[in-house]
Structure 1
Amino acid sequence: MVSPGPQPRPRGWPEPLDRSAALATGVLAAMPAALGCLDPAGRVALLNAAGERLLDRPAADVVGRPVTEVLCAGTAAAVTRVCHEAVASGGPVSLEVPDPWGGPGWSALHAWPVSDGAAFVFVDVTARRQAQDEAEAARRAAETARRAAERAGARTALLAAVTGELSGALDSESALGSLARLVVPALTDGCVVTVVDREGRARDVGSWHVDPARRPLLDRYAEVRLDTLPTASPVARALRSGSEAQQPVAAVLELMPPGPARDLLVELGPDTAVVLPLTADGRAVGVLTLYLDPGRTLDDDDLATAREVAAQAGRAVDRVHRQSQQAKLAEGLQRSLLTDLPTIAGAQVVARYVPAAEAARVGGDWYDAFLHTDGDPVVVIGDVTGHDTAAAAEMGQLRGLLRGIAHYSGAGPAEVLRGLDAAMAAMHTGTLATAAIARLEEGGTRLRWASAGHPPPLVADPDGTVTVLADGLGDLLLGVDPTTVRRESTVPLRPGAVVLLYTDGLVERRDCDVDTGVGRLRRHLAALADRPLEQLADELLARMLPATPGDDVALVAICVHPPR
């Protein structure tokens, strides 16, 4: 079959190129977005109907004019730039710009190269931008709420930690020294804690910085700043009048004289200093100084939290001051009830008393030393049960009773304890006590001793041999049964031997029973047996007791020197 050739067009139909041009013209006319073209000289070469409507000018008035005469300056500059970039890159370029005709919305400006210049079109994107802005605002609000919740949680945790740290503090300086680590970084970048002691001296007791590299700087600054503190500085005013201050560090530096303190503060580089007084009964007992780096501020909630921390710290300082005063009174009372040690020819005797760390926790521990009626040295240790002023008062009376019974009767240790037990049954009913008596006989070559429920005495020879005088002779404590049989024992003493009597506070702790504690004491005494007696007593206390003893402790030691 032969293929038919080209068919003739119906009369009146346009040529294909004419049809394409007509179609393009129709598309441009119907296009809802404003479209135009720039020639290489930056003149408008084309503007569609949407552009005419937006400009409110016919295309004939615009075509051939520079774009800067057609559009406002900012829009003209944007069109020129994207058209140049499109021509240079050979591809499309897009940019979002404010509404080119001054409205409140936004348009996407698209440009692409054409045969003789570049075309550009404005597409309204106001609705999308609004949706994006609303989403971003919601995200920021959620982030702000999250951060606020985190900061609120951190402030709550901080107050709980401060309460826990300060509520049971027995030493205000050690407790407040750690306070700086608690408030950093929850409230501030750096912190220095100042405490006024009972004598009215201000001392920086703790510092901390969020930046490990600046912690040594802050430590050195805290060591020297109070020595050159200007009277007009915020810290000095807070100590003097209890006033709060928030001041730029630059202003503080203007008040400081040249020297190490000023140089260190400059090197630390904080932007703001916030000074909060620690007050009690209307007077400043310390200062909390917060150093904020540039860009950090305290909002109202942070400041309220910092004030609460300062208030708790002030109450802690005041409480410890009061407890310390009470402890001094109680210790003075107890020491007044103890006996001055006698001078014993040919022998040396030392005694020590250490009160419990807890304020006003006096006890019934006592020691005594005296000469028997026949001239033999006698040492006594005792402990009335209880930790109050009643126990201290009972202790003073029992100490006097025992000394009187021993002096009048001239009896040995066991009989003296039996007499004291009988006297307690008649005059001190309800009182319980332990006691141990050691009497050095025959020129100090023999020890006669008895115990009423008390930890065993120790004997240390000069060569380091230590003997625990237990032998099952602990017997019943005093105040239980006055008819109980009291026994005593004798052991030989080598020349220069040390006899040590002590109360249970030396060997008993929550994590250590008496037997374990006696074992530790025995080892330390063996290591110290060749020391002078005064040094031996001090070293034993240093090695046996914790930094804050939970119970009062008494000890007495006697050494009879060999005859010349």
Structure 2
Amino acid sequence: MFDGSLAAMAVFTGPDDRMVYANPAFARLFGARPLGRPARETFPDPDAYRFLGVLEEVRATGRACQVLGARRTDPGDDAQASHFVYACSPLTTADGPGILVVALDTSAETWTLQRYEALVSAVSQMVWVMRPDGTMEELVPGWERLTGTPWYPRADKGWYDHVHPRDRERLGEAWRAALRITSPDVFEDVYRLRAADGSYRHLAIRSVPVLRDGSVAEWVCAAADVEDTWRSRLRERMLAQVAAVSGTGLQGAFCELVKVIVPELVDVCLILLLSHDDWPLPENATVTARRVASATGPGLPAPPALRGQSVTLSPTVRGILESRVPRTFLFPPGGPVPPDLVPAVTERWLAAAGATSITLTPLVVGDTVLGYAVTGTNGDSPVPTDSETELLREVLHHAQRPIRKVLDLQQARRIALGLQRTHLTEPPSVPGAELAARYRPASSTGEIGGDWYDAFVLPDGTLILDIGDVAGHDLTAATAMGQMRSMLRTLAYTGGPDTTPATVITRLDEVTEGLNTASLATAIHTSVRRRTDGGWDLAWASAGHPAPLLIPSRGPARFLAGTPDLPLCVVPGAPRTTHSHLLEPGDTLLLYTDGLIETPSEALDVRMRELAGEADRCRHRALPELLESLEEFSDHRDDIAMVAFRTTAEP
């Protein structure tokens, strides 16, 4: 009956376990073995002692025994070993008690498993099986090598404790959602796992459901360490985002930069810029650092409002900036933050938010240290590793290019503003009248306007008031502004007592067109002469400029009538008109540029009515205070130039 069996079978009898029968399958698996000899002689193989021990146990106890662990033959020479499992059972023979040995050749299955393990080992950190009851069996070991702790047989018994606190809840919820699906698909996720050295590494997990009879019998899970790949992609993504930073002004650029850093690398980021332009810093000079940008990660309180809070540089911070090497400070959650590193308002916020560390990284552009970045971790977030600090340093280093652009633009703007202010002189002192002027550049540090005003007295005592605006927001517009202002001043001064404002504007248009000074500009040229009765004769010509605003001593504010002519540089030789008005004692005349009234959200006529109303409310204020109040009426998007003239009440 046993001769034709596919299973290897043999019978042993007697106290020395003599082999009295072996079928052909047994001979194929273990080779030819002599019959009638004790088992110790029949199986002299080096590792046969385990098998002989099982025979003795079965003979002594009378109970069957199964050996399912991995077993292999030793064929010798270069022949390939065979893998098997076997069972020993008590048997009654004609010669007395005996033992039946049944062995199954598992070579094909073992070789397939070895190939599978080799494959998954090449692409995965570890492989395990998870059953519906939550128990887990590790197939390809790797857990202990990565984490430094033994494998946990259940996910809810210590395994999740190694997952990063910020990933734990998300990963658990996603996994529970996958388990609730009747016909689940492959589950994939990337999360951070705590390594043996305390750092966290990114693992990519892929879990495939094994279905039996239409239901999930188990999940086969594989995890691969993708830290290097993840960090490389993060670096590329962050550097691309930094390269795209184009905020308006230095503060705007840093406000965009902190949003790149948080929460990708840290929980909080704060930028402080030095108040001192010289580098290296003077040894005994008091230098402060001012908050200009901040950002916090999800779940943390909003950072304090940016209101110019500053901190005086301590020797510690000076040392970090001079060395240009980042430094990390550790402290207990909610504990006191090391003093004199950040403004007091930030110290209080860090303590309230449960900060555990801050890292100071110098901000270097070229050879100059502009300030430093303060990055922090809060709560259960781990302290940044050396590689994370180095990545942060690299990100800040690559921010040099967009910040340098902003700095260059600011430098050009400072030059243009300096050029403008050299032309915007203080108004003269005029008997019987008050004068005030005001210029305010746009809030956008990326724009340079061409607005100007002028006020001067001719040899015959005539007061000249001019206001103008060259199209454009760059250094070219500022340069053209200076040229046109000088030309208008010269034409008015040399024109003679009978020259009208229209004549002066016409000549200015001709000269500007002939010298190609500007592509487009608007202007108002006025002359004011005092009368013996205390009034003033006002004459003006407008080249496409907003109408003058009159705030009379009696009655509501209104814009002086007179349709403006074409702007300058449009149609050379176009006719120009001189308008006139009698200013009574106590009247106020305001000339202004369009930045005061133009906004994207309201119609121009609406804004002009609102300006007149605002002027009415401020009519009794001194001229400098009046201009200051009207300046707040604008939306600060564009440059503003204003010049005001007020007649006194006495003749």
Report the TM-score when normalising by structure 2: 0.57
Which residue is equivalent to 2:139? Answer: 134
Which residue is equivalent to 2:544? Answer: 453
Q: Cα distance 1:416–1:190, how it changes in 2: closer, same or farther (>3 A)?
A: closer
CA drift at 1:451: 0.9
Alignment of 1:26-425 (within 5 A): 54=54, 56-57=56-57, 132-134=137-139, 141-142=204-205, 159=239, 161-164=241-244, 166-170=245-249, 172-177=250-255, 179-199=257-277, 201-210=288-297, 212=299, 226-227=311-312, 229=314, 231-232=315-316, 236-246=318-328, 248-249=330-331, 269-293=354-378, 294=380, 296=382, 298=384, 302-303=388-389, 305-357=391-443, 362-407=448-493, 408-410=495-497, 411-424=499-512
In 1, the alpha carbon distance for the partners of 2:128 and 2:595 equals 77
Paired AA for residue 376 in structure 2: Y
In 2, the alpha carbon distance for the partners of 1:558 and 1:157 equals 58
Q: Which runs of no fewer than 5 residues in structure 2 stay unpaired?
A: 1-49, 70-109, 114-126, 130-136, 143-186, 189-202, 207-222, 278-286
Instruction: Report Cα offsets for 1:278-332 as digits up to 9, x if no partner.
Output: 2111443232232234452556875564234312444455444443333222211
Is the Cα contact below 8 Å between 1:367 and 1:380 reproduced in 2? yes
Q: Secondary structure at the match of 1:495?
A: coil
Q: Percent identity?
A: 30
Matched, 1:507 2:585: no
In 2, the alpha carbon distance for the partners of 1:297 and 1:530 equals 62
CA drift at 1:537: 0.8
Find the partner of 2:625 among 535, 550, 555: 535
CA drift at 1:358: 5.4
Q: Which runs of no fewer than 5 residues in structure 1 stay unpaired?
A: 1-49, 64-97, 100-126
In 2, the alpha carbon distance for the partners of 1:182 and 1:309 equals 9
CA drift at 1:343: 0.4
Structure whose residues are more often strand by fraction: 2
Which residue is equivalent to 2:559? Answer: 468
Instruction: Report Cα offsets for 1:230-273 as digits up to 9, x if no partner.
Output: x44xx5543222113356447x9897699989898666544444
Instruction: Report Cα offsets for 1:218-241 as digits up to 9, x if no partner.
Output: 889x968x5585x44xx5543222
Which residue is equivalent to 1:12? Answer: none
In 2, the alpha carbon distance for the partners of 1:385 and 1:254 equals 52
CA drift at 1:385: 3.8
In 1, the alpha carbon distance for the partners of 2:128 and 2:632 equals 75
In 2, the alpha carbon distance for the partners of 1:516 and 1:312 equals 47
CA drift at 1:347: 0.7
Is the Cα contact below 8 Å between 2:327 and 2:360 reproduced in 1? yes
Report the TM-score when normalising by structure 1: 0.64
Is the Cα contact below 8 Å between 2:248 and 2:445 reproduced in 1? no
Which residue is equivalent to 2:173? Answer: none
Q: Cα distance 1:382–1:213, how it changes in 2: closer, same or farther (>3 A)?
A: closer
Which residue is equivalent to 2:154? Answer: none
Is the Cα contact below 8 Å between 2:548 and 2:590 reproduced in 1? yes
CA drift at 1:500: 1.1
Q: Secondary structure at the match of 2:630?
A: helix
Q: Cα distance 1:312–1:351, how it changes in 2: closer, same or farther (>3 A)?
A: farther
In 1, the alpha carbon distance for the partners of 2:359 and 2:231 equals 19
Instruction: Report Cα offsets for 1:147-167 as digits up to 9, x if no partner.
Output: 868887776665555444x32
CA drift at 1:406: 3.0
In 2, the alpha carbon distance for the partners of 1:208 and 1:289 equals 11
Instruction: Report Cα offsets for 1:130-159 as digits up to 9, x if no partner.
Output: 764239989875255698688877766655
Is the Cα contact below 8 Å between 1:346 and 1:560 reproduced in 2? yes
CA drift at 1:504: 2.5
Q: Cα distance 1:246–1:430, how it changes in 2: closer, same or farther (>3 A)?
A: closer
Q: Secondary structure at the match of 2:526?
A: strand
In 2, the alpha carbon distance for the partners of 1:62 and 1:500 equals 119
In 1, the alpha carbon distance for the partners of 2:620 and 2:347 equals 53
The RMSD of aligned alpha carbons is 4.8
Find the partner of 1:495 among 585, 589, 607: 585
Structure whose residues are more often helix by fraction: 1
Is the Cα contact below 8 Å between 2:520 and 2:569 reproduced in 1? yes
In 1, the alpha carbon distance for the partners of 2:474 and 2:313 equals 45
Is the Cα contact below 8 Å between 1:465 and 1:526 reproduced in 2? yes
- Greater RCO (CA < 8 Å, at least 6 residues apart): 1
Matched, 1:557 2:644: yes
Is the Cα contact below 8 Å between 1:326 and 1:360 reproduced in 2? no
Q: Cα distance 1:393–1:287, how it changes in 2: closer, same or farther (>3 A)?
A: closer
In 2, the alpha carbon distance for the partners of 1:363 and 1:130 equals 68
Instruction: Report Cα offsets for 1:529-560 as digits up to 9, x if no partner.
Output: 222210111121222132xx3x4332211111
Is the Cα contact below 8 Å between 1:286 and 1:314 reproduced in 2? no
In 1, the alpha carbon distance for the partners of 2:554 and 2:54 equals 113
